[in-house]
Chain A
Amino acid sequence: MLRIFFALIILFSSISAHPVIFKNGKVFWLTQNPSFNDIRFGVSKTSNWLIGGRFLEDRKSNETFALVNNNYLAKRWNSRNSQANLYLLSSVGLNTKNSKGMGTIGLHGDWENRRFMAMEMIEYFSHSSALVSNSRLAYSPYTVDYSKTSTWLIAHYRVEYSDNKYSYMFFPVVRLFKKNYLFEIGYNGNDSFLSFMTHF
């Protein structure tokens, strides 16, 4: 149960857009699915460092976690019509009921232009000793002006390695993007989720 719980955390962590935003920018996002509610808030102190808090509720076990996120943009490659990034991710927190600690460390790389996006994220979780890979390939069927809604079709593939065995999950995801608002919905026949994010 705990492993599934952490696997879901990883999966939904990777659904957000860039882990670091513009200097002094704030980010707020919500995720809801049958397993948990996830509320996050963060501030980019610089253009390459975001720190934030997160409140996570496991709807099945009624466990809640309070976490601090620390995302660092190690390198960005800005090019004509494309961008690539390498991020270092970490988080640390407590179970709010029994004060048991948990921590994560991760590496996130992505590349995108106006039509295509590729992302890979690998994270290690101290609680379950799980190593998880999340991969995304995305395509935007059309490009639009900044003020209009853009659509991304995303194939999300997740592999978890723990206890000497692998497990796999595939999610088709639709992302809608307009100005500073992002909305994602995914469904794989068994599970579904919603995600909303805004920058301000």
Chain B
Amino acid sequence: MKKIILTILLLSYGFSQSKVSIQDNEISINENEAVVEVLGMVCSMCAFGIGEGFSKTNFIDKSKFIDGVSVDIDAQYVQLGLLDSKDINPEKIVQVIEDAGYDVNLLFILQNEKLTKFGTDKLGILQPIAFNLTSDNNN
């Protein structure tokens, strides 16, 4: 019985965690999280503005990271904790980044055990470019 429970736990963990790549950095992403590659985020005040923007939204899980947001300026990405109850519109995430004055290059969202990758096209419009990714094919 214990083995069965352990197997189920391991399987569910496997489905709800993956890895994504941003500028040669491999980042772990869990269920109800997003990873955003942000262009132009080069200083701590830039990062502060992005954190402030997300703190005013209603889809951030503030129990994760620092008030729901983790910023890596060197690797140029932001990781977000997302509320379980919300189906996230990726445009809302992009809007917060743009209101802070920056651009989104890539966006990964892991929800409902599905990892989706979004990218901006030549017109600057966000488009899903890959679904149901695994850690091996998210580039």
Kindly identify which residue among A22, A79, A146, A179 contacts B39, using a CB–CB cutoff of 8 Å: A79
Q: Are A22 and B44 in contact (CB-based, < 8 A)? A: no
Residue B102 lies at the interface, judged by CB distance under 8 Å to chain A: yes
Residue A178 lies at the interface, judged by CB distance under 8 Å to chain B: yes
Closest to B73 in A: A146
Closest to B102 in A: A78
Q: Are B48 and A145 in contact (CB-based, < 8 A)? A: no
Closest to A21 in B: B49
Residues in B with CB closer than 8 Å to A25 are 49, 52
Residue B61 lies at the interface, judged by CB distance under 8 Å to chain A: no
Residue A183 lies at the interface, judged by CB distance under 8 Å to chain B: no
Residues in B with CB closer than 8 Å to A78 are 39-40, 102-103
Residue A47 lies at the interface, judged by CB distance under 8 Å to chain B: yes
Q: Are A23 and B99 in contact (CB-based, < 8 A)? A: yes
Also in contact, A81 and B52, with CB within 8 A (given A22-B101, A146-B44) = no
Count of residues in B whose CB is under 8 Å from the partner chain: 27
Residues in A with CB closer than 8 Å to B100 are 22-23, 47
With the chains together, A61 CA to B71 CA distance in Å? Answer: 47
With the chains together, A166 CA to B102 CA distance in Å? Answer: 38
Kindly identify which residue among A21, A73, A81, A200 contacts B42, using a CB–CB cutoff of 8 Å: A81
Also in contact, A146 and B40, with CB within 8 A (given A22-B53, A22-B99, A22-B101) = no
Residue B136 lies at the interface, judged by CB distance under 8 Å to chain A: no
Closest to B47 in A: A146
Residues in B with CB closer than 8 Å to A180 are 44-45, 48
With the chains together, A78 CA to B101 CA distance in Å? Answer: 9
Kindly identify which residue among A47, A79, A178 contacts B101, using a CB–CB cutoff of 8 Å: A47
Residue B116 lies at the interface, judged by CB distance under 8 Å to chain A: no
26 A-B Cβ contacts within 8 A? A18-B45, A21-B49, A21-B101, A22-B50, A22-B99, A22-B100, A25-B52, A47-B100, A48-B101, A76-B40, A78-B39, A78-B102, A78-B103, A80-B76, A81-B76, A83-B40, A83-B42, A113-B42, A114-B42, A143-B73, A146-B48, A146-B71, A146-B72, A146-B73, A150-B44, A179-B48
